């Protein structure tokens, strides 16, 4: 498989109408390899769709991740051949779009909210799709490519065209939503929700995790919202790796407005069963990692920037068997309070967030571990755990992301050195 060269605006192939693919041609090795190469190319560029003309092929074919950006789950990318679109209803929605063939530019494009599609899949079988909102927008955008139409041809006005580089330097216009942000642990759970909450046209959203595979889906969703994603495969406990990661960020922008230290690990064991390596793993990730990332970030923060550290309700109280985790999350709050005073002259605010049970994979794993230790089922432990939460439910990642957005906003400029609980009343100190 190969990464294909993407045709840029001005190339004649982007303005030519494509030809339909016969079933007999579809089954050939040449076409099947083209499909595989297009899928790889779309993934390489963190795209949500790629049409054959964009890789210099005049065939009526596109590939797309039709659910990217809608939620945390992602199906396999869809291969769509010879599509025919029928608009359902009369609702038209104007929203931001970009294109791999017109890099670093976004514009607001009106599209039908709901459509039906008849096509063939890569095996020549009939494909019928019903799509709305984001998926419908992607399909209409890619089908336009097959007819030689670019997204700005559909715009009602060119006034909304946004050249992303205009917002990547110092002194650029800032709004409540238009910020450059770094989120560690940004590939899933709370980190993913935070990254997407800040993904606005003109923003740069850098996400970091130990492995790049955790980041690819989130990066595609960030790009679909009009922001520029930067993916950083980095272990936050590795001092040299963190420094290299910030080198990549500086290559894209000299300014990071908001740093969210979200990377963390959990796990519990009675102290007499806890080995030194396990203890250090928790403390190094949750505390040392926060320090290393913040130390690199502070010179890039503008006056009035934000540092937001993810602690936990276990930074508020103790839980038997969680000495390392509780110690690390208490330490994050102490770090937050000291750094807030250190940076106050630059009007940089530093705050911590203390979530309770949040609906994430990490929480599910923690519940399963605790359930096994207690000799009960996961469902029984979950019911017991939520019984101690006054609102009787899990916190959603988006709810935590909303609190992060508030603390990053101009309205929170007078708030610093604080630790905010978001736990459904689990603790009230």
Question: Which residue's entry shows tokens 């993916």?
Answer: 231
Smallest Cα–Cα separation from 363: which of 347, 381, 348?
381
Select which of 45, 167, 325, 420 is catalytic: 325
Q: What is the length of the chain?
A: 429
Smallest Cα–Cα separation from 220: which of 53, 109, 9, 64?
64
Residue 325 among the catalytic residues: yes
CA–CA distance, 91 with 97 (Å, rounded to integer):
18
CA–CA distance, 229 with 216 (Å, rounded to integer):
10
Smallest Cα–Cα separation from 263: which of 211, 330, 191?
191
Output the CA–CA distances (angstroms, integers) from residue 266 to 193, 278, 347, in the order listed: 19, 10, 32
Q: Return the CA Rg of the chain.
A: 24
- What tokens does 332 get? 């994050």
Q: How far apart are the first and last CA of the chain?
A: 56
Query: Which runs of E-coded beta strand occur in 284-362?
Result: 306-310, 349-355
Q: How far is CA 313 from the centre of its chain?
A: 24
- Contact between 339 and 375 under an 8 Å Cβ cutoff? The reply is no
Counting beta carbons within 10 angstroms of the beta carbon of residue 171, is it exposed (0 to 12), middle (13 to 18) or buried (19 or more)? Answer: exposed
- Contact between 107 and 151 under an 8 Å Cβ cutoff? The reply is yes
- Contact between 219 and 264 under an 8 Å Cβ cutoff? The reply is no
CA–CA distance, 397 with 375 (Å, rounded to integer):
29
Smallest Cα–Cα separation from 78: which of 17, 119, 46?
119
**Sheet containing strand 258-261, strands side by side:** 228-233, 204-209, 181-184, 258-261, 306-310, 349-355, 419-422
CA–CA distance, 123 with 113 (Å, rounded to integer):
29
Q: Which residues are catalytic?
A: 325
């Amino acid at each position: 498989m190969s990464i294909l060269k993407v045709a840029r605006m001005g190339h004649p192939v982007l303005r030519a109408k494509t030809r339909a693919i016969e079933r007999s041609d579809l089954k050939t090795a040449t076409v099947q390899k083209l499909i595989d190469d297009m899928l790889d190319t779309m993934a390489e560029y963190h795209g949500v769709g790629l049409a054959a003309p964009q890789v210099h092929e005049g065939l009526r074919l596109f590939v797309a991740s039709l659910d990217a950006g809608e939620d945390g789950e992602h199906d396999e990318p869809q291969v769509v051949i010879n599509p025919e679109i029928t608009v359902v209803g009369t609702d038209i929605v104007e929203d931001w779009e970009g294109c791999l063939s017109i890099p670093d530019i976004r514009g607001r494009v009106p599209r039908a909210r709901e459509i039906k599609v008849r096509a063939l899949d890569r095996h020549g079988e009939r494909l019928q799709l019903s799509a709305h909102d984001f998926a419908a927008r992607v399909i209409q955008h890619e089908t336009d490519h097959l007819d030689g139409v670019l997204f700005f041809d559909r715009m009602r006005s060119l006034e909304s065209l946004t050249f992303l580089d205009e917002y990547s330097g110092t002194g650029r216009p800032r709004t409540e939503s238009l910020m450059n942000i770094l989120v560690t642990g940004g590939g899933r759970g709370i980190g993913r929700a935070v990254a997407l909450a800040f993904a606005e046209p003109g923003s740069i959203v850098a996400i970091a995790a130990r492995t790049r595979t955790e980041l690819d889906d989130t990066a595609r969703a960030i790009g679909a919202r009009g922001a520029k994603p930067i993916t950083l495969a980095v272990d936050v406990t590795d001092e040299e790796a963190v420094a290299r990661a910030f080198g990549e960020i500086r290559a894209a922008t000299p300014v990071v407005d908001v740093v969210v230290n979200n990377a963390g690990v959990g796990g519990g064991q009675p102290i007499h069963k806890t080995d030194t390596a396990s203890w250090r793993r928790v403390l190094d990730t949750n505390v040392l990692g926060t320090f290393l990332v913040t130390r690199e970030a502070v010179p890039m923060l503008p006056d009035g920037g934000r540092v937001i550290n993810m602690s936990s309700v276990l930074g508020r109280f103790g839980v038997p068997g969680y000495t390392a985790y509780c110690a690390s999350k208490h330490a994050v709050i102490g770090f937050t309070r000291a750094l807030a005073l250190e940076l106050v002259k630059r009007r940089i605010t530093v705050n911590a967030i203390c979530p309770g049970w949040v609906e994430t994979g990490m929480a599910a794993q923690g519940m399963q571990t605790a359930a096994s230790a207690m000799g009960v089922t996961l469902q029984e432990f979950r019911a017991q755990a939520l019984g101690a939460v006054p609102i009787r439910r899990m916190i959603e990642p988006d709810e935590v992301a909303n609190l992060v957005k508030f603390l990053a906003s101009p309205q929170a400029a007078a708030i610093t050195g604080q630790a905010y609980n978001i736990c459904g009343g689990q603790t009230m100190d």
